């Protein structure tokens, strides 16, 4: 297994609060496009840089809306995905304005409802709706998993059982070369290696089927 050259995995919630990225701006990127910070405070609508789509769907993409949730650790403005899609559908929302190959990315997620599926997670090195890396937390299955979606086919190469109380939880990913580290609530849960997608790509958010979830505190950093 390729080893990540990381002294420690970053705690993104601390970075966001300390740097002030979570101000009132909807989406902010560094001048050199090395960082991305997203806040939904004072934003009545989905930022134009967010591009909802779906993988293996039936042409009825989920609805991504900015709503209020005072329980969020990043402020009351959150992004909620509403969907009643079928089991095979992946609801994806990539973001324009930031691309990276080696990166750190983190988001807070809260599972709201879903019969077939719940929870959600992150995508990165996103090329299109059929090619990207993905990690997601599912409270119904009580696990967090790591996948690659290649030509529309999802393949698992990392898995960890997690059993947590309802509420907000943080998923963080670091990738360097082929090496991937996934953290959940600040703890290392998956270390793996994969080279199926090598090019830089966008980051974004993901749920499956009818998983209705809230997201907040999204941050990404180019490691190069």
| pLDDT, tens digit (0-9, with 9 covering 90-100), for 198-216 | 999 999 999 999 999 999 9
pLDDT band at 32 (very low <50, low <70, confident <90, very high): low
Please, which residues bridge with residue 175 across strands?
103, 180
Spatial distance between the Cα atoms of 101 and 124, rounded to a whole number of angstroms: 8
Are 13 and 200 a contacting pair, CB within 8 Å? Answer: no
Beta-strand relationship, 212-222 and 77-82: antiparallel
| Strand segments (E) across the chain | 27-29, 35-38, 53-55, 63-68, 77-82, 90-94, 103-113, 120-128, 131-138, 143-150, 153-161, 168-176, 179-184, 187-193, 202-208, 212-222
Enumerate domains of the chain plus CATH numbers: 12-222 (2.60.120.560)
pLDDT at 153 exceeding the cut of 50: yes
Write out the H or E segment, with its range, that includes residue 57.
none
pTM to 2 decimal places: 0.88
pLDDT at 48 exceeding the cut of 80: yes
Are 133 and 180 a contacting pair, CB within 8 Å? Answer: yes
Write out the H or E segment, with its range, that includes residue 164.
none
pLDDT at 29 exceeding the cut of 80: no
pLDDT at 100 exceeding the cut of 80: yes
Spatial distance between the Cα atoms of 159 and 143, rounded to a whole number of angstroms: 7
Q: 171-197, pLDDT tens digit by residue?
A: 999 999 999 999 999 999 999 999 999
């Amino acid at each position: 297994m390729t080893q990540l050259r990381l002294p420690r995995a970053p705690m993104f919630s601390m970075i966001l609060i300390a740097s002030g990225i979570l101000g009132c701006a909807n989406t902010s990127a560094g001048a050199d496009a090395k960082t991305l910070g997203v806040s939904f405070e004072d934003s009545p609508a989905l930022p134009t840089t967010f591009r909802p789509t779906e993988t293996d769907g039936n042409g009825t993409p989920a609805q991504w809306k900015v709503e209020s949730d005072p329980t969020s650790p990043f402020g009351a403005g959150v992004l909620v995905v509403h969907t009643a899609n079928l089991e095979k559908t992946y609801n994806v929302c990539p973001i324009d304005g930031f691309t990276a190959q080696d990166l750190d990315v983190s988001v807070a997620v809260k599972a709201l409802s879903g019969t077939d599926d719940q929870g959600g997670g992150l995508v990165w090195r996103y090329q299109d709706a059929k090619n990207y890396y993905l990690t997601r937390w599912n409270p119904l299955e009580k696990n967090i998993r790591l996948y690659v979606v290649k030509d529309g086919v999802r393949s698992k190469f990392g898995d960890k059982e997690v059993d947590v109380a309802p509420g907000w939880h943080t998923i963080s990913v670091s990738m360097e070369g082929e090496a991937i580290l996934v953290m959940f609530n600040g703890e290392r849960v998956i270390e793996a290696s994969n080279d199926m997608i090598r090019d830089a790509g966008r980051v974004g958010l993901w749920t499956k089927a009818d998983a209705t979830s809230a997201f907040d505190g999204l941050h990404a950093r180019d490691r190069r």
